[in-house]
Structure 1
């Protein structure tokens, strides 16, 4: 369990999907409010741990039913809007065609199907979902290709991808999760060559699309859109009802997602502790200022941190 008396705390959303961990500060169960589906539940009789200083829980999405346990009377809780998230809520739709008809324009649907048809007629295309089973050798081959796709794609975009520095961690993490059906890999192959790969995490009927990329040699086919369409089709077939693309506003997410939500920081501090109060005020000012910049389309649009990191990295190399 992390130290609850430091300002770094947990990343609620990512911890929940990637490791099945929920801070002991929160009640069980955790539900998807869109579907009333229980995502996390376990026997929990322990009281909320003491917060002697200040603690921050990151990335709490508003579409999950999340409640803090009874806290000490000296503990104050603030909830600060953080990022906007995007998901596809597909439970109300009969099938993929029904969803596409309501979410995409007729022109977009025609273009998507044309790109897919061209891809399949000009190459020997296979679509494979690895969910419950994958050969270890093929798993490592896909992870090697995946790394290369991300590296090339983000070099093309002139941005930094934070996942690349943790690639060995994900390589070790995901394989047993696939066997347990808590994660999946989706691959599009041209003959035996992977050209698009996506990594997903699963909880009950909710799928969290964590990262995907493709071989930039196939960019003309709009591989991101084809991948999303095939993953949606698979979600309908498997009985999933939510495909979450998570935080960050992009044209791609706006195009595909029919539900937008906010993620929040939960900031807890002991108001009887002068040092905790001071840290809280400094932290709150920082978080509120960053959100102000996001709301004004400065941070994340006119100024992008991943592009700035890319510039700094190349400046020092």
Structure 2
């Protein structure tokens, strides 16, 4: 069996898989790649196209395609001032943001944003992120989140990514300090005028103060002040992203097979395998 797919088949660590190119170039890149593999369809059985934007699907062959997954991604266009974005938010969201700051001040807590920019990301900062990510995942009274970095391999992966991207000045680790103690952390990647929010973590005991919401607010303010034009809230649909009234971009995972009997059997086995995995999960 020969299955062709993009790099990034780890569970959740690579959030967006697919062609590495600018969004405006994806149609042309997909067209060229699809043409190449169509001309050489005797060398593969199944091709898994990942991260295909809705406006680029028509570049793929129309036959023998099956949509495997739709993955929403959420992007916020940043204005010149935080107040301009804040004014567009719902009353409930504005109230939630205000209460977070007010409760901290009421209880006499001092708030500060700490930003570690590459290449100055040290082991201590990364270890704090791992600890807070794990703490959030193990919280019993909150919506369950998976600890994506519970294995040594996954931690080494992130360490390598931060090292590689950090050497190009593309990594930021944002930390929310309360009374000098880091209570929330989020990793972000800056690419040109875009900033992408990756995984996060926080100390569950600070949930009542809305620690993660406050951290995102501080990140948005920081990004606006430094001239970033878009904030990518990452993939997956949940209320914590929708509250910012983002633009939804749907990314498609599509499986392509050929006319051969072998290819059809492989495609059917993939369907069975994914169904079995869902049952086990």
Range into which the TM-score falls when normalised by the shorter chain: 0.7 to 0.9
User: For the Cα contact (< 8 Å) 2:47–2:257, is it kept in 1?
Assistant: yes
User: For the Cα contact (< 8 Å) 2:18–2:51, is it kept in 1?
Assistant: no
The equivalent of 1:206 in structure 2 is 194
For structure 1, which segment, 259-268 or 106-115, has the greater mean C-alpha deviation from structure 2 after superposition?
106-115
The equivalent of 1:280 in structure 2 is 267
CA deviation string 1:221-263 (max 9, x = no partner): 1122112211211222222222222332212122124212222
Matched, 1:138 2:124: yes
The equivalent of 1:60 in structure 2 is 52
Cα distance in 2, alignment partners of residues 246 and 19 from structure 1: 8
What stretches of structure 2 of length at least 5 have no aligned partner? none
Paired residues for 1:1-317 under 5 Å: 5-6=2-3, 9-10=5-6, 23=19, 30-32=21-23, 48=36, 50=40, 51-62=43-54, 78=65, 80=67, 82-91=69-78, 93-102=79-88, 104-120=89-105, 122-153=108-139, 156-165=142-151, 166-271=154-259, 273-281=260-268, 283=270, 309=281
Q: Counterpart of 2:266 in 1: which secondary structure? A: helix
Cα distance in 2, alignment partners of residues 114 and 180 from structure 1: 38
CA deviation string 1:101-143 (max 9, x = no partner): 11x2234313312312332562232202222342524334423
User: For the Cα contact (< 8 Å) 1:200–1:210, is it kept in 2?
Assistant: yes
Gap change, CA 1:95 and 1:128, over 3 Å in 2: same
Gap change, CA 1:231 and 1:67, over 3 Å in 2: farther
Q: Which has the higher contact order (CA 8 A, sep 6+)?
A: 2
State the 1:81 CA deviation.
6.4
User: What is the TM-score with the length of structure 2 in the denominator?
Assistant: 0.74
The RMSD of aligned alpha carbons is 4.1
Q: What is the number of equivalent residue pairs in this alignment?
A: 266
